[in-house]
Amino acid sequence: MTVRIAVASLAAATWTAALFLAGPAAADNTNADPKDNHAMTEIEVTVDGQVLHATLDDSVAAKDFAAMLPLELTLTDFHGIEKVADLPRKLDTSSAPASYRPDTGDITLYAPWGNLAIFYKPFQESRGLVRLGEFDGAIDALIQDGETPIRIEQAD
C-alpha cells in the first residue's frame, strides 16, 4: 500500500511539474494561440478582379478548408465587423481551441453555424470561433455594401 501511494504521489508531482514548465496553455487549450501554428497553405481570394493573398494555418480545420478549394462564395456583412458565407459542409474542428479572439484580417470558421467569417474589425473572444488563417495585406476590397461574390483558391 505504501508503494502505491508513493507511485501515485510521484505521478501527480511529475504531471504537475510538466504543466508548470509547459505554462498555463498546456492545461487548457482554450488559451492556445492559433497564430503559433506554422504557415501551411497560400491562398488567393479574388474580389471584383482584385486578388488578395492570404495564408492558412497548419491546423486540422485549415487543412480541411483547403481541401474544399476552389470555392465560389457570396459574402454578406454581419454586425459591421465581419463578412460571412455558408460553406458547403462542416469542417473538422476536433483539435481546435474552444474559443478565439479575432483580429482584422483573420479568416475564421464559426463552428456552431458552419460558416466562414472574415473579420475586418477586431472582436471579442468568442466560443466556437476557429481561426483558419489570415490575409497577408489590406482587405479593403472585401469591405463593400451588399453581397460580395468571391473566389477562394490555392495560390500557384
Q: Is residue 15 part of a domain?
A: no
Q: Is residue 118 part of a domain?
A: yes
Q: Is residue 124 part of a domain?
A: yes
Distance of CA 57 to the CA centre of its chain: 7
Instruction: Note the pTM of the prediction, 2 decimals.
Output: 0.76
Q: pLDDT value at position 17? A: 37
Q: If you search the block for the grid coordinates 479575432, which residue do you land on?
A: 102
pLDDT by 10-residue block (mean), the chain, 156 residues: 39 36 39 50 97 97 97 97 97 96 98 97 97 97 94 95
Give the domain extent around 97. 37-154
Q: Could you read off the pLDDT of 55-64 as tens digits, one per residue?
A: 999 999 999 9
- Is there a contact between 54 and 43 (Cβ–Cβ < 8 Å)? yes
The strand ranges marked E within the chain are: 39-47, 50-57, 71-78, 82-86, 99-100, 106-110, 115-119, 126-127, 129-135, 148-154
Sign of CA dihedral 70, 75, 79, 82: positive
Q: What is the CATH number of the domain that holds 43?
A: 2.40.100.20
Q: Is residue 12 part of a domain?
A: no
Q: pLDDT value at position 4? A: 40
How many domains are contained in the chain? 1
d(CA 23, CA 28): 10
Q: Is residue 24 part of a domain?
A: no
Q: pLDDT value at position 100? A: 98
The torsion of the CA quartet 115, 49, 54, 154, rounded to 10 degrees, works out to 80
Q: Is residue 100 part of a domain?
A: yes
